[in-house]
Amino acid sequence: MGKIFAFVMPLVVTNLIQNLYNAADMVVVGLSGVDGAIGSIGTTAAMVSCMLNLFMGFAVGSSVMVARSIGERDQQKTQEAVHTSLIVGLVSGLVAMTLGLIGGRRVLILLGDQGHILELAHLYARIYFAGLPFIAMTNFLIAIFRAKGDTRTPLVILTLTGLLNVGLNLLFVLAFRMSVDGVALATTISNIASMIVLSAVLHRDKGWCRLEFRKLKVEKHALQGIVYNGLPAAIQGILFSLSNMLIQSSIISINNTRFPGGSAVIDGNSAGQSIESFAYVATNSVCQAAVTFTSQHYGAKMFRRMGKVIRDCYLASLTIAEVMALIIMALRYPLARIYLSSPDAIEVCSIRLIYMLTGYAFLAAMDTGSGIVRGLNRPIISTIVTLLGCCVLRVVWIFTIARANLSLGTVYISYPISWGITGLCHFIVAMTVKRKMMRRFPAEED
C-alpha cells in the first residue's frame, strides 16, 4: 500500500493540477462576456474525448509494454517499446487531428448545437484539434515516465506548463479580447511546451527508457504488443465517448426545450462536468497505477504477490473516490458559482453533481478493475466488459427509459448504474484470471 500511494499521490497531484488548468479555461472564458461560451466548450467535450481516446488507448498499450519489459528485466525490449511508442503517438495524433478537422462541425450539428453555440463550439474544436499531435506526444511521453515508476517528473513539468496555460488564457481572453479561441490556443501552446520539455528530460535519462532520436523506429514485436494492448483500449474509449455523445445530445435537447435560445442547461452541465472531473482524475490515477503495478508483476510472473496489489489498488481508489466525492458534494454550490451566475444553470450543475458523485465508488471500482485486467494481459476482455456494461447499457437506457421520460435525472442516473454493473464484472474477471495464473506459476518469491 505504501508503494502504491508513493506512486499514486504525485500522479493525483499532477492530474488535479492539469484539471485545475482545464477548469481555468472555462472560468476564464466565462470572463469574456460572450453568451454561451462555457456551454459551447462543454458541448464539445464528448466529441473531443472521442478524438483523444483514439490515441490515449495506444498510450495505455505503450505503458503496458514498457512496464512489462522492465518487469522482465529486458533492456532491449524496453528500448524498443519506448521508441516505437513515440512513433505510434505521433501517427495516432495526426490521424485524430485529421478526423476532427474534417468531421467536427457535422458532429456538433448532429449533437444538436445551434446558432451562436454551434459557431463557438466549432471555433474551439478546430483550434483544439489542430493541436492533437502535440497532445498525443505529451501523453505518450507521460505514459513512458509512469511505466518506469516516475510520476514526479511529469508533476513538475505539467505544473509549470499549466501555469503557462493559465497565463496565456488571461492574456488572450482579457488582454486580446478573445473567447473560446483564446483558451483553445493557450491549451495547444502549453502542450507544445510540455512535449518539448518532457522529450528533453527523457533524452537525458540514464536508464533503460532513455530517448535516443537515432533509435526512433518501429520494432515489429513492440508494435504488436502496443496494438494488442492499446487497440482494445482505443476502441473502448471511442465507443465510450460515442455513448456519452448520445447523452450529450439528450442534454442539449433538454436545454433547447426548456430554454429556447438560451444555454442554462448546457452551461450548468458543462460546469458540473468540470467540477466532477476533479474527482475523476484523482480516482483514475489509481487505475493508471494498477496498470503499471500489475503489468510489472505479470512480466515478473509474481502472481501470488499480485493479490496484494489488487487488494490495495481497490482500497486506494475507493478511499480517494469517497473523499473527493464528499468534499465536492459539500461545496457544490460555492464551486458552481465560480463558473456560473445564472440560478438555473447553478441548479443544473448541482443536480448533475448529486447524481454523479453519490455513486462515485462504483466508478472507482470500474476503472481500477479495468486497469488490473489490462495489466493481466487481458485487454480484449476488459474492452468487451466495459462496452457491454457501459456503452450498450447507456444506449439502451437513453432510447428506452430516458426517451419515455426525458429529464436530467433519468439521463444522469444511467452513469452510476452502468459503473456499478461494469465494476462488478471487472472484479470477477480479475479474480478469475489471477487464480488461473497462480495455478500455472505456484512458486514465487515475495
Distance CA 109, CA 284 (A): 31
Give the number of other Cβ atoms within 10 Å of residue 404's Cβ.
8
- Rounded to the nearest 5 percent, the helix, strand and coil shares of the chain are 85, 0, 15
Once rounded to an integer, what is the mean pLDDT over residues 151-173? 90
Q: Find out whether 398 and 246 touch, Cβ atoms under 8 Å.
A: yes
List the helix and strand counts (H, then E) for the chain: 19, 0
pLDDT of residue 446 exceeding 50, the answer is no
> pLDDT of 395-425, one tens digit each?
899 899 988 888 999 999 999 999 999 999 9
pLDDT of residue 444 exceeding 70, the answer is no
Look at residue 122 in the predicted model and tell me its pLDDT.
94
Q: Which residues contact 57 (CB under 8 A, 6 or more apart)?
A: 230, 231, 232, 233, 234, 235, 236, 237, 238
153-175 per-residue burial string, b: 16 or more CB within 10 A, e: under 16: bbbebbeebbebbbebbbebbee
Q: What average pLDDT does the chain have?
A: 88
Distance CA 249, CA 121 (A): 14
3-state secondary structure of 150: coil
The HSE-up count of residue 127 (CA atoms within 13 Å, CB side) is 19
Q: Scanning the structure block, which residue is given the C-alpha cell 506526444?
A: 137
Look at residue 441 in the predicted model and tell me its pLDDT.
67
Region of residue 387 (left: phi > 0; alpha: psi -120 to 50; beta: else): alpha
321-356 per-residue burial string, b: 16 or more CB within 10 A, e: under 16: bbebbeebbeebeebbeebbeeebbbbbbbbbbebb
* Grid cell listed for 55: 490515441
Distance CA 7, CA 9 (A): 6
Distance CA 434, CA 376 (A): 8
> pLDDT of 123-140, one tens digit each?
999 999 999 999 999 999
* Grid cell listed for 210: 532513455
Distance CA 53, CA 45 (A): 12
Q: Find out whether 365 and 421 touch, Cβ atoms under 8 Å.
A: no
Distance CA 65, CA 58 (A): 10
pTM: 0.77
Give the orientation angle of helix 152-170 with respect to helix 180-203, to 10 degrees. 150
Among 110-124, 160-174, 189-203, 282-296, the minimum mean pLDDT is found in 282-296
CA–CA distances in Å: residue 374 to residues 64, 118, 312, 382, 426? 8, 38, 17, 6, 10
> pLDDT of 26-80, one tens digit each?
888 888 778 778 888 888 888 888 888 888 889 988 988 998 898 888 899 999 9
pLDDT of residue 82 exceeding 50, the answer is yes
The HSE-up count of residue 123 (CA atoms within 13 Å, CB side) is 15
Look at residue 442 in the predicted model and tell me its pLDDT.
59
Distance CA 120, CA 114 (A): 10
